[in-house]
Structure 1
Amino acid sequence: MRRRQQRPAGWGPAGAELPQPHYLVEPRHLAGGGDLRHITEYLRVSGWKDRTPRAGSPLCFESPDRTVRVGYAGHIIPPTWTVSSGPRTNDGTGAGWHATFGAAVPVEILAGFTDALTRPPAPHAPDVWRPLAQRDWNVGKKGHHTATSPDGSAILQYRQDEGRACWWACANATTAAGTSSRVWSAVLSDTAPLHAVEGFAAALSDPRPLLRPPGHIPFAAARQVTTTPYMVLPSQLGSWQRARLAAARATTRVKGGWALHRTRPTGHTPPDYAAPSGAGGRSR
């Protein structure tokens, strides 16, 4: 693990609250799972219903039209996110799709998929490979259509084996001794909404680091991981979280049981909670 010099905070006039130590972690796919509320609160604000049992596990959120469910089972080994779509017909007929994500998938990356499910597809045809290629991922076909991160530690693949197809992603960490281990994996039906798969690909390949508090960087010892100390005021953390939810409120209205998005501007683009504005990529 490599550490850089702390960046100037530049918070302005001192207030009563004290800055708290955090770390900017890159590459983002090795930052650890993060706060589940990054996913669940966005869904709640977007009109999804909390169907979590009173016991509190597993978490379950259902889309307004009751066709899509997002769940997190923290009580099983290994803990797993599950996203699925079932048929709308009463007799149970019709095709659905299914996706699973390991608990170590950063919530900010998974949100690329789940956030997209709260809105209809864009007018243009989805292109899963476009955000990857634009960010210097190696995109090609060697048996399967595959995109590999610049450091080789993350992969997104479209697999076709014996007439069956799926999307598959993974992240790997290399120790100082040179041994490699699988950190997380994800499997998505080939029928999963392409605009949501594209959102996942865009979030996976986003070069911005993710913010994590001390003790919440499970793969910090990996050779690829760089952590940068970053002091954060509690009010800033709250502000970034509120901005994310405000963006959901400003762009969503519930009509006919489904989330339709307005084009009304929000006044600013809220920073990713885990990547404060101004946080750059890896220094050479």
Structure 2
Amino acid sequence: MPHDIDVVLVAPRYLAGPGDPAWVTVPLHRACNWSTAEDTLVPQVILTSPDQLAQLRLAPNPDPAEPWWTLRHAHHSDQRAWSMTFSAATPVEIIAAVTDTLTAPAAPPTAPGDVYEPLRAAGWHPPRHHDGHTSPAGMSSPDGLARVDRLVHDGGRTASWVAEASVSDRPSIWRAYADGDSPPHLVAALFGALADATPLVREPHRVPRLAVTRGRTSPGRVSAETLAFALQRRTTALAQRNAPTPPAAPSSGPHRPPPRHTR
């Protein structure tokens, strides 16, 4: 008999905890045709794009202080090589926003646009320092628990992006890093996922304590089938998105009677 399962809806999503890595890796493999490493002696997950330009690696042992996810893309055409990293506690839905955008069949926008726009629309604002001044190079969430920063290196010649969730002076809950050559539309996808107000679904025993004390949680119930097939539905949707559009059938035009021959 079908039965319901207890779940918890967590908001804001940057406090929801990591979730299941399969939310990212399974669609890349099954829907986007990223290949897996064949070397069973390598104790890590390695996925490579069909064109061999992009690679996603998961280190064997998650270390809260070090990146666990590493997404790299090789130099190609006018695009310089770039990389993005995410620590182990990063919600997988935020990482999936980046990989879904990377693998989208539509061409990326040619104009860089304003990567901060999704954050501004969600009420994020420039962070305020102890001296009362704000930093135009960063944005802070309304609750002050998440922020993004634009870091400038080498005297202004290079820059990078950092997004993180943290509480006061404690170590970061999680951190994401994008180097300065990361495509702007992927950085915007990362920020859009941060700003998304849609709660994330977590099993009750996987809800971080900080989400209970500083976030918003509400109990819910979903059918076991809904929960069990959520990843399958996501994978199917991405596979359909990436399927080539069949060519349109040639039009025969309006029917016309054959010409009449007269003597």
Considering the TM-score relative to the shorter chain, is it more than 0.5? yes
Secondary structure in structure 2 of the residue aligned to 1:138: coil
Q: How far did 1:145 drift?
A: 1.4
Taking the aligned partners of 2:238 and 2:229, their CA distance within structure 1 comes to 14
Pair 1:58-2:40 in alignment:
no
Q: Is the 8 A contact 1:20 1:232 kept in 2?
A: yes
Taking the aligned partners of 1:136 and 1:143, their CA distance within structure 2 comes to 16
- Of Structure 1 and Structure 2, the greater strand share is in 1
Identity across the alignment (%): 30
**Structure 1 counterpart of 2:237:** 247
**Structure 2 counterpart of 1:168:** 162
**Structure 2 counterpart of 1:85:** 73
Q: How far did 1:156 drift?
A: 1.3
The verdict on how the C-alpha distance between 1:150 and 1:243 changes in structure 2, with shifts beyond 3 A counting, is: same
**Structure 2 counterpart of 1:71:** 57
Taking the aligned partners of 1:206 and 1:55, their CA distance within structure 2 comes to 39
The verdict on how the C-alpha distance between 1:21 and 1:181 changes in structure 2, with shifts beyond 3 A counting, is: same
- Letter paired with 1:160: V
Match of 1:200 among 190, 193, 207: 190
Q: How far did 1:203 drift?
A: 0.6
Pair 1:150-2:142 in alignment:
yes
- Of Structure 1 and Structure 2, the greater helix share is in 2
**Structure 2 counterpart of 1:39:** 24
Q: How far did 1:46 drift?
A: 1.2
Secondary structure in structure 2 of the residue aligned to 1:114: helix
Cα deviations across residues 200-226 of structure 1 (Å, max 9, x unaligned)? Answer: 111111011111112212334663122
Secondary structure in structure 2 of the residue aligned to 1:34: coil
What is the root-mean-square deviation of aligned Cα atoms in Å? 2.6
Pair 1:26-2:11 in alignment:
yes
- Letter paired with 1:238: A
Cα deviations across residues 92-149 of structure 1 (Å, max 9, x unaligned)? Answer: xx94111111111100011111111102314664431111111111147944511111
**Structure 2 counterpart of 1:6:** none
Taking the aligned partners of 1:196 and 1:185, their CA distance within structure 2 comes to 16
Pair 1:233-2:212 in alignment:
no
The verdict on how the C-alpha distance between 1:220 and 1:18 changes in structure 2, with shifts beyond 3 A counting, is: farther
- Letter paired with 2:119: L
**Structure 1 counterpart of 2:204:** 214
Pair 1:134-2:106 in alignment:
no
The verdict on how the C-alpha distance between 1:52 and 1:156 changes in structure 2, with shifts beyond 3 A counting, is: farther
Taking the aligned partners of 1:208 and 1:245, their CA distance within structure 2 comes to 20
Q: Is the 8 A contact 2:11 2:211 kept in 1?
A: no
Taking the aligned partners of 2:45 and 2:62, their CA distance within structure 1 comes to 12
**Structure 2 counterpart of 1:276:** none
5+ unaligned residues in a row in structure 1: which ranges? Answer: 1-15, 255-261, 264-284
- Letter paired with 1:166: S
Q: Is the 8 A contact 1:219 1:225 kept in 2?
A: no
5+ unaligned residues in a row in structure 2: which ranges? Answer: 128-132, 247-263
